[in-house]
Chains A and B, each alone.
Chain A
Amino acid sequence: MNKAVVESKQDEEWQPKIIAFLCNWCSYAGADLAGVSRIQYPPTIRVVRVPCSGRINPFFIIKSLIDGWDGVVVSGCHPGDCHYISGNLVARRRFAIVKELLDFIGIEPDRVHFMWASAAEGELFAVMIRKISELVKKLGPNKKFEKKW
C-alpha cells in the first residue's frame, strides 16, 4: 500500500489523486496542448504515457484502484483517429466490459472514466479533467481496498 498516494490532508480542502493513462498520439498531445495554451486545470492527475489506449490492460485500472488512487482516467484518440488504426476500438470494447466488472465489485462508476481527446483538443482535455476531478472529489478518498487490519 502506498502512503504517498493515499495520503490525504484532512484539514486542507481534500484533492483527489487521479491516475491518467493517455495514449501517446492524441490524448498525451492534447494534454501537452493544454499546457502550451496555458489552460489551467486542477493538479489532481498524474499521467502515465502509453503508446495507445489499446495497450491498456484492465489490470492497470484495477491495480490503480487497489493501490489507492482515488480515480482513473483512460483517454485515447477519437474513434477513427487512432494512430494504430483500430487500437482505440479494441480498447472501447474492452472497457465496456471492465466498466461492468467494476460496477459488480462495488466501485463507484464516477471513479473510472473513459474519454477521447485529440491532439488538437487541449481545451477539451482541461475541461474533462476539471469535471472528472469534481466528480471524484464528491466521492471522497478511495478506501475500498484499504487494509483494515
Chain B
Amino acid sequence: MDKVGAVLVVGAGIGGSQTALDLGDAGFKVYLVESTTSIGGVMAQLDKTFPTNDCAMCIVSPKLVETGRHQNIDLSINCKILDVKGEAGNFTVKVLKKSLYVNMDKCTGCGVCGKACPVEAIDVFNEGLAKYSATSVKYPQAVPLIYAINKDYCIGCGICLGVCKAKAVEYDQQDEEVDLNVGAIVLAPGFDEFIPAKGNKYGYGKYKNVVTSIEFERILSASGPYSGKIIRPSDGDVPEKVAFLQCIGSREFKDGQPYCSSVCCMYTAKEAVIAKEHMDQVNPTIFSMDIRAYGKDFDKYINRAQEEYGVRYIRSRISHIEEDKTTKDLILTYEAENGEIIKENFNMVVLSVGLNPPDDGKYLGEMFGIELNEFNFAKTDIFNPVQTSKRGIFACGAFTSPKDIPETVTQASAAAGCVNQLLYDQRDTLITEKVLPPEIYVAGQPPRIGCFICHCGINIGGYVDVPEVTRYAGTLPNVVLADRNLYTCSADTQTIIKEKVLEYNLNRVIVASCTPRTHEPLFQETIREAGLNRYLFQMANIRDQCSWVHMHEPEKATEKAKDLVRMAVNKARDIQPLERIKLPVTQKALVIGGGITGMVAAFNFASQEYETYLVEKGKEFGGHARHIYTTLEEGNVQEYLSNLIDNVTTHKFIHAYTEAEIENIDGYIGNFKSSILHGPSKERVEFDHGVVVVATGANEYEPKEYLYGQDSRVIKQSDFEKLINTTDEINNKKSVVMIQCVGSRNEEHPYCSKMCCAEAIKNAIKAKELNPSLEVVILFRDIRTYGFKELYYRKARAAGIVFIRYDEKILPEVTSEGNNLKIEVTSPKMGKITISSDLLVLSAGIVAQGEANEELAKILKVPLNEDHFFLEAHVKLRPVDFATEGVFVAGLAHCPKTIEDSISQANAAVSRACTILSKDEVEAEGKVASVDMARCSGCGMCIENCAYNAIELIEDRRFGIVASINKALCKGCGACSGNCRCSAIDIAGFTSEQIFEMITGRV
C-alpha cells in the first residue's frame, strides 16, 4: 500500500494541538478530531500553571488560535471514531461528525442565541458551578468559537432561530460520516478526572463545601463562576481555613486507582498559593502522604509555598470528613506524624482528585486495535513511551500515564517525531500553501491607528480602569478607533480585529494587553491576514509591567497604562511596513552528546535521510546508560543500548565522532557552520548544518557524606546495581541500607533527581529476589514513585522491604563499627533508630556538568538555570526549544529524568527540528539594521561593534567608502546604531525617531 502524507490526531487538548502543530509545520496534512465542541482540553480550564504561575489561558490561547487557523490542520469538533482499517502508512478512519445544529461556517460566535435561550443547562467547562443556556459555547475564549445546541436540554421553542442574524441555526442539521485516509495516527484523548462516588467518605456531593480540585481551579479562575473570588459554595463566604486532601482516587485500592496520579501534589501546591494570592485571608493546609515534587524546579515551588505563602503541610491521610450542621464547616480527624489524634475545623475542603484514563479510552483501544494496560491507559513500548502496540499508531499525554503539561507537550512532539520518522518521504504531498491577501499599500498615507485594550479577564481589568484607558486612547491624535475586549487574544477577538481593520481603514494596530514576548506574533499574524504588513503593529504592556505589579494602586496603574498606550501610539505613528528575508536551510543536523538521548535523536534524523553529525566527548557511545542494567519496568537497557549503538555507528547518514569536542559553532537557524576536534589526534572537521540538538547529559553526584570514599562498604546506587547484576556478592550479605536524596534536595542541589526513588526500589526488589533472607531498609524523605511506578513501591513493601522516613533537618548518621556499619536515623514517627548493616547504598543524585554546560551555553548563546541545567524557551509549552531558533535540548542536559523521558525528549527535539529541516527556506526577522549612505562617514566603528560580522565597508559610486549590512546575518541588536556618531545606521522597528517619539510623549 502507498504511504499517505496525512495524519489523524485524536483529541485536541494541549497534547493533540502540539502534535498537530508540529506535523502541520513539517508539511503534513493533519486531521485533528475532538470529541467535545472546542479545543484546549483541561489546560484551558486551568487558572494558572505550576511552577511559574503562568496564566494558563494566556499561554495556551495563542497555541489554540494557531491550531485553529493553521493552514495544514483540518479541525473537526464533536466527533466520534466509528471504524479504523489499514496499517502503518495507510489507514482509513471513519469519523462521525455529530451535528451541532449550528452551521459552523455561518456562526460568528456572537452569543445572541445563548442569551435568548430560555432553558438553563449545565455547563461542563465550569464543572457544574455556573449555569449556561442550552445553546452554548464551552467557554468565552473557545476555539473554534461556535455555539452548539444541546439537544438534551433544548425544548424546541425556536427563539434562537429567530434571533440569529447569521442564519446559522439549523435544527434539521444531520450527523455526517467522513472517511479519512491517513498514514499515521496519534491518540491524545487526555484523561478524565476521578469523581468520588455517591456516599463516599469525604461527603462529596453531600456537603456543599467539599469540592474537587478541578472545581476549585474554576473558582480560582478569572473567567470562572465567581470571577476569581474564593467563595465557598454553601453561603458565599470567604473560607479562611481551606484543607486540601491529597490522593483522592489515587494510591488506593478500594475507592480509586492504585497508581499515583503524578500531578496532584504540584497542582495542589499551586491552588493553595494562588488562593492565598487572590485572597490573603485564606489559609491553606495540605494533607499528604508524600510530596511528589519531582519535576524541574518543582521542589523550589513547594519550598516557596511553605515559606513565602505560609502553606501548611501535614503528613497524614484523611479518611473521614464530618460536617458541622449549623456552620457548614467541616471537621477533619487526623493522626499527626507523632501519633497524636487531632480534630480540626475547616471552612472548606478541596479534594485533590486523581487522573483516570479517559472515559472513552477503552473504546479507543478497541477501535484502533491497540493494547491497553490493566487500568485502561494505552500500553506503550518500554523504550519508546509514545509507541503503542500497533505500528503507525502513537499515543501521547495523559493517555499513556498520568502526567503534567510539559511532559504531555514533550510526548506530543515525540509522537510527531515518530510520525516524521515513518512518513518523512510523504511530506508536502497533501498540503496547500497559505494564501494571504495582498498587502494594503500604506506608505505615505496618514496614520489611522486602531487601539485594542484588553481586560485580560480581571488580570488587567481588576486593577486598571480599562474603560478610562480606552476613552483616553480615543482622544490621541491619529487614533480612529479605541476598543476594549475581555480577552484580546481569543479567537473571536482576532476576527473582530480583522473586521475593524477593514471597517475603519486602519493602517496601524495597537494592542494594550500582556507582553509582546508571548503575544506579538499572534496579533501580527492577525493583521497580516487582514492585509496589513505584520510590522504595522505595536503592543503596550499594561499587564505584566503594570496591573500585576501595581495591584494596590489602581489609580496610578491606570495613569501608567495611559502613558504606556500613549507611548505606543506615538511610536505607531512612525512605524513602517517591513520585508522579511528568506534564508536557505541546510538540511543537516548536529547532535551534541552520544548518550541514549543523542543517539535516539541522531537515528531519527538519519532515518529521515537528514545527514547528521553526532559528537560524543567520551571514548564510546552510551553515556550514563552504560551503568544501568534494567529499568524499573524491567526493560533490558544494555540490550537496547547495544542495538542503538550499532544502528547509529553503521548508519550511512550519520557521521559519528568520539573523543570529540566542539571548537566552534557559528551562524543561525538553518545555516550553522561548526568545527569539531575528534579522535586521539584531535583531528579537525568542519561542516554546515541547519539545527543543533544539545544532548550532553549530566553526571552522577560524587557523595562527600556518609563515609563514602572512606569505607568500602559505602557505595553508590549505580555501583550496587552493577554488584547485583554482575556478581553474586549479594548472597553473602545480611542487610543493606539505602539512603535517598544524597546530593539532591539540599542547599547545594535544591532539586529532586527524579530517578533515584525508582532506582532504589528497582535494585531493592532485585536484591531481595536474589537473596530472600536479605534485609533491605530504605531511608527516604518522600518516596516519589509517580505514575505506574507506584505499583513497584507497593510490590517492594509487600516483599518486606522496610521504608523509614527521615526529615531533612535531622539527616541519618553513619559510623563504622567493626564488621558493621551503624546507621542512626531519626524517624518522625518512631524516634531515633539504630540499624546495623553490612552495606550502605547511597542514592546519589544527578548534577549538571557545570563548566562544560557553561562553555557550550556561551558558544550557542543559550541560557542555563540556577542549577546549571539548560533552560528551555518556556517550561510549560516549549520544553525542548531554546529561545534561540534552531537550537534544541533533550535528556539529562535539560534536567534529571528517566531513560524513557529522555527518549521522548530526543524524539520531541527531532520533531521540533523537522519544522525547520523540512523546509527549503525559513523567514528571518524583518527588524534589521540599515545604513543611510548619505550620512555615513565610513569610520568603521560599527564593524568593531558588530558581533555577527554582518557589516563591511564598501566603496559606493556616489558616497565613497561607506558601511554596508548583510541583512541575513544581521540580528537587529543595534550595537552598531547605538554607537554611530553620524546617526547613519538605524534599526527597522526600533528607529531612533520612533524611540524619540516615545520619549517625548507628545500629546
Contact = CB atoms under 8 A, between A and B. Distances in A.
B999 interface: yes
B553 interface: yes
Interface stretch (B444-452, B537-545, B832-840): B537-545
B564 A47 contact: yes
Contact of A90 (B548, B978, B1003): B978
Contacts of B866: 120
Contacts of B515: 28, 32, 35
Given A31-B544, A32-B517, A90-B978, A43 B560 contact: yes
Contacts of B254: none
A4 B472 CA distance: 13
Nearest to A119: B863
Interface residues of A, number: 54
Interface stretch (A58-66, A102-110, A134-142): A58-66
A32 B545 contact: yes
Contacts of B546: 35, 43
B975 A90 contact: yes
Contacts of A25: 883
A85 B927 CA distance: 18
B557 interface: yes
B947 A55 contact: no
B413 to A, nearest CB: 23
Contacts of A46: 560, 563-564, 567
A35 B548 contact: yes
A87 B947 contact: yes
Given A4-B1001, A41-B549, A48-B999, A36 B54 contact: yes
B608 interface: no
Contacts of B858: 80
Interface in A16-35: 17, 19, 24-25, 28-29, 31-32, 34-35
Nearest to B561: A43
Interface string B843-876: 0000000000000001001010110000000000
Contacts of B947: 84-87
Contacts of B865: 120
Contacts of B541: 32, 47, 49
A36 B978 contact: no
B516 interface: yes
A67 B998 CA distance: 11
A2 B973 contact: no
A43 B550 contact: yes
Nearest to B998: A48
B975 A36 contact: no
B200 interface: no
A113 interface: no
Interface stretch (B522-530, B580-588, B987-995): B987-995
Contacts of B863: 81, 119
A54 B975 CA distance: 4
A105 to B, nearest CB: 18
A40 B549 contact: yes
A4 B1003 contact: yes
Contacts of A19: 999
Interface in B959-994: 971-975, 977-980, 983, 987, 990, 992
A112 interface: no
A19 B567 CA distance: 11
Contacts of B998: 48
Contacts of A47: 541, 545, 564
B957 interface: no
Nearest to B539: A49
A129 to B, nearest CB: 9
Contacts of A54: 945, 973-975, 978-979
B794 interface: no
A130 B947 CA distance: 34
Interface string B490-528: 000000000000000000000000011100000000000
Nearest to A91: B978
Contacts of B711: none
Contact of A3 (B544, B567, B948, B1003): B1003
Nearest to B975: A54
Contacts of A17: 563
Interface centre among A19, A31, A52, A80 (most CB of B within 10 A): A52
Contacts of A119: 863
B636 interface: no
Nearest to A53: B978
A58 B992 CA distance: 11
B52 interface: yes
A19 B996 CA distance: 12
A131 interface: no
B277 interface: yes
A133 to B, nearest CB: 12
A15 interface: yes
A15 B557 CA distance: 13
Interface in B931-972: 945, 947-948, 971-972
A36 B544 contact: yes
Contacts of A5: 1001
Interface in A51-102: 51-52, 54-60, 63-64, 67, 69, 80-81, 83-87, 90-91, 94
Given A4-B1001, A64-B999, A57 B992 contact: yes
26 contacts: A2-B1000, A2-B1001, A4-B1003, A5-B1001, A29-B517, A32-B545, A35-B544, A36-B548, A37-B53, A38-B277, A46-B563, A51-B972, A51-B987, A54-B975, A56-B978, A57-B978, A57-B979, A57-B983, A59-B992, A63-B1000, A67-B1000, A83-B884, A83-B973, A84-B947, A86-B975, A91-B978
Interface of A: 2-5, 15, 17, 19, 24-25, 28-29, 31-32, 34-43, 46-52, 54-60, 63-64, 67, 69, 80-81, 83-87, 90-91, 94, 119-120, 126
Given A32-B544, A34-B545, A34-B549, 5 more contacts: A43-B549, A46-B560, A55-B987, A60-B995, A83-B884
The 6 closest A-B pairs by CB, nearest first: A55-B974, A35-B544, A54-B975, A84-B973, A85-B947, A35-B548
